[in-house]
Amino acid sequence: MTDFVLRLLRLDRRVIFLLIAVATLLPLLYPVSLPIRVSPEVQRVYDYMEKLPAGSLMLLSMDFEPGGKPELYPMAVALLRHAFQKNIKVLGMTLWPAGAGIAEIAFTEVAREKGKEKGVDYVFLGYAPGDASAVISMGQDFHAAFPADYYGTKTADIPLLQKVRSLRDMQYVMSLSVGFPGIDTWYVYGKEKYGFELGGGCTAVSAPRFYPLLDTGQINGLLGGLRGAAEYEVLLGVKGKAMAGMAAQSATHFVIIFLIIVCNALYFLTGQARGRQR
Amino acid sequence: MSAEVVIGAWVAVGLSLCMYSFLYKDNPFFKFGEHVFVGVSVGYLLTITYYQVMTNKLYIPMTQQGKRWLLVPAFLGLLLLARFIPSIAWLSRISFAFLLGISSGLAIPRQISSFILKQVEGTLKPLVTVGDGGVAWMTWAGLNALLVLIGVVSVLFYFFFSLEHTGTVRRIARVGIYFLMVSFGAAFGYTVMARMSLLIGRFDELMLYASASYGYATPVLLVAMIVGLWWWERGQERKT
Amino acid sequence: MLFWKRTFPLLLTLLLGITFTAQYYVPHPASESLLTEVSVWGQIISGFAILLGVGSLIRSHYVKIKRREAGWGYSGVMFLSMLIMLGAGFWSGGKTEGTSFGWLYSYVFVALQGTMFSLLAFFVASAAYRAFRARTPEATVLLVAAILVMWGRVPLGEHLISGIGSVTEWIMNVPNTAAQRGILIGVSLGGIATSIKIIFGIERSYLGKD
């Protein structure tokens, strides 16, 4: 018995890999739709966006690389859809060099879907180097921070940016962040001085550390991971990638919970067995 | 479906499977994928730096807005690269000194304000509220505020290494440990959530490319990868 | 020469550190213009810092090829991929939409980085099975909190036990907030102390070796 339990405890990790692969694959092949409850932190972002009048300026900083795409791209798409539906003007950018391509794809795809015009309804500014320097520079003099947009067009010639002088002109700033630089950078070097309202979206792995900022109102809402994106899709009433992934997310979580319970049960069994042998 | 999309799907699937082959064991397919990844990352970063930084932030303001003085930060930037030439590597210190001096100076007051004062303020919430209905003692919100206060103080006690952890200090620090354990548990739960989301994202794409419109890229290349690994394994056995 | 090599960088850090700490408290137009200009400079210099990082990587692979070290062929693959990406980038003028550069970005870079990060899902599962054991009361608390959060943050969990979502929310908003706040305050104090040490030349590892 003890030998069997010990063998189970030393299970080849490739068996666990296979279990996870199957748990991910099956719900994607045979999706089951379950209701998704919306958490207050996501609701607050949605409500704030809802209250913004048409023509308001929103800055969407997509501070992530392709590695964060599965969690943050659906958020970006949902937020852009919401903004364009409400005729909010969106300025896009990234503090991560490798994120420029993915951010541009999100902007062009959603703008095309909603029939929005570049330079009039939205602007994609591209990559801003320097983390804190970039945010401060935008707060001090927007056009000095971005002399040209992603495509090399002078920002002074872009109609949407004619009246933009600083971050103070933004009605809302959303940072979708995979790490540092991200939400913290926008708060510490941006909101703290330039006083705009700030919301955040982040990968699930970094979500727990933003709860203190949420509690103090330093960020007005938070979309945490794929679940956060799915909740936003529920509020928008549009089934997107995040909602589709929730069944697989459920299955994999339960596989991990099962593994933890099994390994602990086996651990105690072997402990008791060792105790009896003594 | 255009040819470039279908070819793209085959390339993406092939490279993804090269990376996943690591789950079996370290092998040449994984190493190939890994080095292609490093190469394209470097190529992408260099291109973005050239167009988004050198052109947009330096060349355009200097040539079209007359900001010739931007040659100074450009020169400081070039000095950073002196680190590659041992005889003049010390010149890069000037640029590092410039960057670190500014970033440290900018960080100190802002960090104090954002992460210390604001957070202390957020911890000190009223435990008793006075409203139209009179004084409300120990509401649910008040209880939570008290728990947060106890948690923050005890965690800070735990981190306070210059104080010997004995007697009351030890007991308070132990409470801090339990708060930390709950938070680390939550963080683990969220980490699992994040990692699984990434897998879901990739599998979702691989499933899309498994369809007839993409020429069954995923199943075909999966079989090819298994055969390739088997072939490589056989070669390894022969060598030994 | 020693002045330029050691004293000057330390003096420069001291001067700039004190100036920009003070700048926060003196929002005079002159000090604001200084901040505006210097933040642009910071952006430009940081752009060159990317080249520094990339250059180090290129150099290490170049040395590997030159010395014919084990696996040097893979370094060749790295150089070839880099040159193809660079060529496509300059050919497309840095634009991604509908270009070969965009194609390589979407089907090679995004696919590879996404897959590389997704590998972690398998290893986190394996680690959960091997290392996550209730050996002590502290470990048990951690384990229970992890299970509650994993259970309560997915629709199936909420479907099986209604109200568990609220328990998860409470964990995140109360004990997690308290602990993370303690960590945040502690880390910030540490960061501020490091910044002060840099400004006053106590921490000078950035100068490197002589």
C129–A97 CB contact, under 8 Å:
no
pTM of the model: 0.94
Q: Give me the pLDDT at residue A268, please.
A: 85
In chain B, what residues touch A204 (CB-CB under 8 Å)?
190-191, 193-194, 197
Q: Which of B127, A37, B44 is nearest to C108 (CA)?
A: B44
Crossing angle between the packed helical segments C110-131 and B3-20, to the nearest 10 degrees:
30
Q: Give me the pLDDT at residue A272, please.
A: 60
Percent pLDDT > 70 in chain B is: 99
Crossing angle between the packed helical segments B28-48 and B3-20, to the nearest 10 degrees:
120
Domain borders along chain C are: 30-69, 77-131
Instruction: Kindly provide the ipTM of the predicted complex, given to two decimals.
Output: 0.93
Distance from CA of A245 to the nearest CA of B (A): 7
Under DSSP, the state recorded for B1 is -
Q: C101, C107, C130, C198: which to substitute to probe chain B, counting the most B Cβ within 10 Å?
A: C107
Contact predicate B112/C189, CB 8 Å: no
Interface of C with B in 143-172 (CB under 8 A): 143-150, 153, 170-172
B35–C77 CB contact, under 8 Å:
yes
B112–C93 CB contact, under 8 Å:
no
Q: Three-state SS for A260?
A: helix
Interface of B with C in 146-185 (CB under 8 A): 147-152, 154-156, 158-159, 176-185
C177–B148 CB contact, under 8 Å:
yes
Contact predicate A58/A83, CB 8 Å: yes
Q: Give me the pLDDT at residue A165, please.
A: 95
Q: Does C51 touch chain A (CB under 8 A)?
A: no
Is residue C149's pLDDT more than 90? yes
Contact predicate A192/B114, CB 8 Å: yes
B193–C153 CB contact, under 8 Å:
yes
Interface of A with B in 58-87 (CB under 8 A): 67, 69-71
| Beta strands, E only, B133-180 | 134-136
Q: What is the C-alpha separation between B211 and B218, in angstroms, rounded? A: 8
Distance from CA of B188 to the nearest CA of C (A): 6
Instruction: State CA B220 to chain mean position distance.
Output: 34
Q: Per this entry, what is the length of chain A?
A: 278
Q: C20, C24, C34, C40: which to substitute to probe chain A, counting the most A Cβ within 10 Å?
A: C40
Contact predicate A109/A120, CB 8 Å: no
Q: Are strands B129-131 and B134-136 parallel, antiparallel or unpaired?
A: antiparallel
Contacting subunits of A (3+ beta carbon pairs below 8 A): B, C
In chain A, what residues touch C169 (CB-CB under 8 Å)?
39-40
Is residue B1's pLDDT more than 90? no
Q: Give me the pLDDT at residue A278, please.
A: 52
Q: Output the CA torsion B127→B130→B132→B138 (10° steps).
A: 30
Interface of C with B in 115-144 (CB under 8 A): 115-122, 124-125, 128, 132, 138-139, 141-144
Q: A29, A94, A192: which to substitute to probe chain B, counting the most B Cβ within 10 Å?
A: A192
Q: Does C39 touch chain A (CB under 8 A)?
A: yes
Q: Give me the pLDDT at residue C89, please.
A: 97
Residues C171-197, mean pLDDT to the nearest whole number = 96
Q: Does C105 touch chain B (CB under 8 A)?
A: yes
Q: Which of C109, B12, C94 is nearest to A98 (CA)?
A: C109
B105–C21 CB contact, under 8 Å:
yes
Contact predicate A91/A138, CB 8 Å: no
Q: Are strands A122-127 and A172-177 parallel, antiparallel or unpaired?
A: unpaired
State pLDDT tens for residues B177-212.
999 999 999 999 999 999 999 999 999 999 999 999
In chain B, what residues touch C110 (CB-CB under 8 Å)?
12
In sequence order, the β-bridge partners of residue A176 are: A62, A201
Smallest Cβ–Cβ distance between C126 and the set A13, A97, A212 belongs to: A13
Q: How many CB pairs under 8 A join A and B?
A: 147
Contact predicate A185/A135, CB 8 Å: yes
Q: Per this entry, what is the length of chain B?
A: 240
Q: What is the C-alpha separation between A204 and A199, in angstroms, rounded? A: 16
Q: Give me the pLDDT at residue B136, please.
A: 77
Smallest Cβ–Cβ distance between A100 and the set B52, B192, B194 belongs to: B52
CA torsion sign for A104, A106, A112, A117 is negative
Task: Give me the phi and psi of C134, to 5 degrees please.
Answer: -80, 70
Per-chain mean pLDDT for chain B = 93
Q: Does C143 touch chain A (CB under 8 A)?
A: yes
Q: C181, C187, C203: which to substitute to probe chain B, counting the most B Cβ within 10 Å?
A: C181
Q: Which of A95, A188, C25, A184 is nearest to B107 (CA)?
A: A188
Q: Cis link prior to A181 (omega < 30° from 0)?
A: yes
Name the closest residue on chain C to residue B117, using Cα atoms. C185
Name the closest residue on chain C to residue A18, using Cα atoms. C122
The burial of B138, by beta-carbon neighbours within 10 Å (0-12 exposed, 13-18 middle, 19 or more buried), is given as exposed
Q: Three-state SS for A89?
A: strand
Smallest Cβ–Cβ distance between C119 and the set B19, B74, B184 belongs to: B19
In chain A, what residues touch C159 (CB-CB under 8 Å)?
34-35
CA distance to A52, A96, B8, C2, per residue, from C207 (Å) = 49, 26, 46, 13
Distance from CA of A55 to the nearest CA of B (A): 27
In chain C, what residues touch A144 (CB-CB under 8 Å)?
36, 40
Q: Per this entry, what is the length of chain C?
A: 210
Q: Does C3 touch chain B (CB under 8 A)?
A: no
Weakly modelled stretches of chain A, pLDDT under 70: 1, 272-278
Contacting subunits of C (3+ beta carbon pairs below 8 A): A, B
Q: Residue by residue, what is the 3-state secondary structure of C118-181?
A: HHHHHHHHHHHHHHCCCCCHHHHHHHHHHHHHHHHCCHHHHHHCCCHHHHHHHHHHCHHHHHHH
Contact predicate A218/A191, CB 8 Å: yes
Q: Which of A69, A93, A65 is nearest to A241 (CA)?
A: A69
Interface of A with B in 220-249 (CB under 8 A): 224-227, 241, 244-245, 248-249
Distance from CA of B20 to the nearest CA of C (A): 7
Class of domain A40-238: alpha beta
Predicted confidence band at C67 (pLDDT cuts at 50, 70, 90)?
very high
Q: Give me the pLDDT at residue B234, please.
A: 94
Q: Give every strand in the sheet of A222-224, ordered side by side.
A: A122-127, A89-94, A57-63, A172-177, A198-202, A222-224
Instruction: State CA B129 to chain mean position distance.
Output: 41
State pLDDT tens for residues B91-136.
999 999 999 999 999 999 999 999 999 999 999 988 887 777 778 7
Percent pLDDT > 70 in chain C is: 99
